[in-house]
A and B are shown apart, each in its own frame.
Chain A
Amino acid sequence: MITNFILRALDGKITLTVAILLVVAALVPALNLLTTPDSALHIPTYAMSLMGKYLCYALLALALDLVWGYCGILSLGHGAFFALGGYAMGMYLMRQIGSRGVYGNPELPDFMVFLNWKELPWFWYGFDWFPFAMLMVLVVPGLLAFVFGWFAFRSRVNGVYLSIITQAMTYALMLAFFRNDMGFGGNNGLTDFKDILGFPVQADGTRAVLFAMSAIMLSLCLLVASAITHSKFGKVLVGVRDAESRVRFLGFRVENIKLFTFVVSAMFAGIAGALFVPQVGIINPGEFAPANSIEVVVWTAVGGRGTLIGPIIGAILVNAGKSFFTGAFPEIWLFALGGLFIAVTLFLPKGIVGTIRQGWTSRKTLRAAADQEKGRGTALLPQAAE
């Protein structure tokens, strides 16, 4: 039963993508650590961290694809789950600073000393212990998604209304996290990290491991998503997307199906956020900004929703484009992004991967039709007649 569930995940394209990701996970750190800066093959640390960031975004887009591409829930608030995962990791990193902060307080992070707080708030307890923090990376976004989804899906909020309340959710969280008395560093967020599991965050070796972890976690989540979408449950998901009432009248509990998928997706987003934070060195309430969540939708749409691999490609391409444009022509980046989204909606409604796949199937159909034609030709001969 379980083996079947896992084996189903390994369809050809998924296996290939996972293989590529694992090669990248080994190769990029190797080229960073084992070559000298003057070598032609050398990958500088900043470039590796940049690529690591893209992989985190790719995981976030994959998370969105699971709910949007397969279940038809257009979440405009996935950035919230990403940010919460990021904050959980950030809290761990803050606790690792210890007495090396500006104020040298061994117990309290700098911003709390600055606010004249005397003791650590209860919700910071346990975050100095890595396994607990990692658990929270999954639990906090998962719990928010569960509570949110419980109410939204049970009261059958659908379509645009659901999108709007997800957007409102991330906006509300942004406002809350901006407040100093929330206890998460307010405006400035959490930053000035020193080390992770005892290794300095800035060191090349740590960066290399973080990069490799990003690629590995992306592969793992891709496999989980693939196992889900290839199971009967995945078929029900697509059913919910295409004909929700039919699924309901067949006796399925649509609200549970949506809730499960939403929670899994939120956890993926949380993992992405947790890997993102040590690589960029900061997490602040800006990550909750509604525009961020909308950008994720653009990446997913560009790559091709409902394809799993598409969003990964979309996120990497769009972000690489963003890095290039904001460096070369900073003033036109937003126009380029807007133009890209319009172009994709008009000319590639299925996204890059969706369009390629469609071309592939129609070529296969054509070839099959041609074969049949030939078959009929031979069937006219008396000995071939069946």
Chain B
Amino acid sequence: MTTIAETRTKSLLYLDNVSVSFDGFKALNALSFVVEPGELRAIIGPNGAGKTTMMDIITGKTRPDTGAVLFEDSVDLTKKDEADISQLGIGRKFQKPTVFESHTVWDNLELALNRKRGVFATLFYTLTPEDQKRIEEILTTIRLTHRRGELAANLSHGQKQWLEIGMLLAQEPKLLLVDEPVAGMTDAETAETAILLKEIAKTRSVVVVEHDMGFIRDLGVKVTCLAEGSVLAEGSIDFVSSDPKVIENYLGR
């Protein structure tokens, strides 16, 4: 596997002047935003700032009214749908943990595994030793080895979040979009998740949307603050959190 530093592309994800409105409400207003290969980026911003809408646009769930969305400088994401974009290598974790509750932890990962996804390929699929090894690796990473045979429905909230992150890992994405991974987690789980995400970011780019400032401080990465559908400030956490506009719009005085 080549490391991301060796790839030639300058940007992994490139949003330029993206706008979208729903019934007259401008959810995104001329948003421009670049993620570099191998980068771990945090996004903050008040409710309604357009964080989730931005993810919807990147993953093909919503089409922008105007603007360009490029993946690896070449692929126009606005022309693709969710399945295409996922196969290109963009994984997405939802705000509310979304796993297959009536499947076991193991089956959840098996389904997510980056293998052929056609009807007949899945009908005649048999688990190979290498796939088995890969699933076991992921189970270790997400600390769920001891619950592999358990139905996902029986996991705790935090474990479901991890399982979903594990499913994204199984997809082998180049870019991981993570929407509020620590919402509803205990402090210990939050700290574990920060470690987990930093580990993941060693081999791929990760974009994290989060409200928890302590968690973002733990990550120690470049922060983008969104408000009213565009970028308000960008930089280190200290730089962003001392910006008067950010304080007024988001952090509060």
Contacts and interface: CB of A to CB of B under 8 A. Distances in A.
B103 A250 contact: no
A249 B119 contact: no
Contacts of A252: 83, 117
Given A1-B124, A1-B126, A235-B110, A253 B103 contact: no
Interface string B52-76: 0000000100000000000000000
A251 B88 CA distance: 9
Nearest to A256: B119
Q: How large is the interface on B (under 10, 10 to 19, 20 to 34, 35 or more residues)?
A: 20 to 34
A203 interface: no
Interface in B116-162: 117-119, 122-126
Q: How large is the interface on A (under 10, 10 to 19, 20 to 34, 35 or more residues)?
A: 20 to 34
Contacts of A2: 124
Contacts of B112: 250
Interface stretch (A25-33, A80-88, A104-112, A237-245): A237-245
Interface in B215-232: none
Contact of B100 (A228, A239, A254, A257): A239
A238 B111 CA distance: 11
A100 interface: no
Nearest to A1: B124
Given A235-B103, A256-B118, A245 B98 contact: yes
Contacts of A228: 123
B101 A4 contact: no
B119 A233 contact: yes
A5 B102 contact: no
Interface in B93-108: 94, 98-103, 107
A242 B100 contact: yes
Contacts of A254: 83
Given A238-B100, A246-B98, A233 B123 contact: yes
A5 B123 contact: yes
A179 interface: no
Contacts of B86: 248-251
Given A249-B92, A251-B83, A253-B83, A238 B103 contact: yes
Contacts of B117: 250-253
Contacts of B167: 246, 250
Interface of A: 1-2, 4-5, 228, 231-233, 235-236, 238-239, 242-243, 245-254, 256-257, 260
The 5 closest A-B CB pairs, nearest first, are A251-B86, A233-B122, A232-B125, A233-B123, A248-B82
24 contacts: A1-B126, A2-B124, A4-B126, A231-B124, A231-B125, A232-B122, A235-B103, A235-B110, A236-B122, A238-B100, A239-B111, A242-B100, A243-B99, A243-B100, A245-B82, A246-B167, A248-B86, A249-B92, A249-B94, A251-B83, A251-B117, A253-B83, A253-B118, A254-B83
